A = this chain, B = another copy of it.
Amino acid sequence: MKLTDTEWQVMNVLWERYPATARGISERLPKEINWAYTTIKTLLARLTEKGAVKESKKGNTSLYEPVLTRQQARRVALKSLANQAFDGAFGPLMHFLLEDQKLSKSQRQQLLEIVQNDTKKGKQK
């Protein structure tokens, strides 16, 4: 289940806290985003349609909660990126991340640290 750009915005707030009302989501979206209330409703309707969120009525008001998990969404997005841009494999993607010269020294340093930690963990298992 692939999400569109705007759907990610909505899901990102929803994953942070749910169940949530459309109004609540509206309030918790990043300030740069100035969507009309109905825009959010539309997106929530589409997401419900797709089965990525579940809607339940509490009186007149709808409560929404994610069905698709953040992890699942990330997996799909990464897989799709890998397919498109890295010949389907995560290896080359990983390579690219580690070697892209456009990363600043400190960004690279950070990645390496993360990786070293995760690598240790990986070995332990």
Contacts and interface: CB of A to CB of B under 8 A. Distances in A.
A5 B123 CA distance: 36
A110 B93 CA distance: 12
A98 B118 contact: yes
Contacts of A99: 118, 121
A112 B103 contact: no
A97 B114 contact: no
A123 B46 CA distance: 47
Interface residues of A, number: 37
Contacts of A123: 112
A31 interface: no
Contact of A78 (B8, B91, B96, B116): B96
A85 to B, nearest CB: 5
Contacts of A73: 85
A119 interface: yes
Interface of A: 5, 8, 71, 73-75, 77-78, 81, 84-86, 90-91, 93-100, 102-103, 107-108, 110-112, 114-116, 118-119, 121-123
